[in-house]
Chains A and B, each alone.
Chain A
Amino acid sequence: QLLESGGEWVQPGRSLRLSCAASGFRFEDYAMHWVRQAPGKGLEWVSVIDWNNRVTGYGDFVQGRFTISRDNAKNALYLQMNSLRVEDTAFYFCAKDIREQDYNGFHVWGQGTMVTVSS
């Protein structure tokens, strides 16, 4: 129901855009999230966007480098990542929120896309 794409190897300082294609539910009714996991490490919440494409939130480590967006007409979620750092290397998962029109957590997860930042 969620399929991420766009992950690849990039050099530090470069940009990358991740995409997530959603299906099987009313996309426009749910907040959507990005969560990441560095190899061998725990889960880290990255960002959320509300169902109306108006409200966003970010983890402290983002520091203005990432922008989340969505296109409800295309059932698509995006994460624009700029000024990438080595420590941004991780699997990036998109996830559907638990409840309609609320921020609770992560009900449905994609399989993830790998971002590697290295020189």
Chain B
Amino acid sequence: EIVLTQSPATLSLFPGERATLSCRASQTVSGYLAWYQQKPGQAPRLLIYDASTRATGTPDRFSGSGFGADFTLTISSLEPEDSAIYYCQQRSNWPPELSFGGGTKVEIK
């Protein structure tokens, strides 16, 4: 089983600042990594897939990078509505098995 470790657990920044979220895998996942945003009381929303491809509707201030076992989600200039928990997710193709990281909470000061 591939384990994803996200850091930091919490990030507290001002509007306009840059946020850098990390996701590390216990073994290579190639480029099969996705990022999700979840706000309180809502279902998660897909932001990024294939490590760096924005999903439809994802603002361009969100960008993903990385390959292998080290990945980053960057929010270039934080907006108040970016306050949420962000999860990374990987998949193993055979047998099909997916898993999430523990999440990073982004707080806007």
Contacts and interface: CB of A to CB of B under 8 A. Distances in A.
Q: Do the two shown chains form a genuine complex with each other?
A: yes
Given A93-B43, A105-B91, A48 B96 contact: yes
A70 interface: no
Contact of A109 (B43, B87, B89, B101): B43
B103 A104 contact: no
B43 A104 contact: no
A12 interface: no
A57 B97 contact: yes
A104 B36 contact: no
A33 B98 CA distance: 10
Given A33-B98, A42-B102, A45-B98, A106 B87 contact: no
A110 interface: yes
- Kindly state the interface size class of chain B when it binds its partner: 20 to 34
Interface string A94-116: 00001000011111011110000
Interface in B17-65: 32, 34, 36, 38, 43-46, 49-50, 55
A104 B91 contact: yes
Contacts of B97: 45, 57, 59
Given A43-B87, A112-B43, A57 B95 contact: yes
Interface of B: 1, 32, 34, 36, 38, 43-46, 49-50, 55, 85, 87, 89, 91, 93, 95-103
Interface pairs A-B: 10 shortest CB-CB: A57-B96, A109-B43, A105-B34, A103-B96, A45-B98, A43-B100, A42-B103, A48-B96, A98-B49, A57-B95
Given A104-B32, A105-B98, 14 more contacts: A42-B100, A43-B38, A43-B89, A45-B99, A45-B100, A48-B96, A59-B97, A60-B1, A103-B93, A105-B46, A106-B44, A109-B44, A111-B43, A112-B43
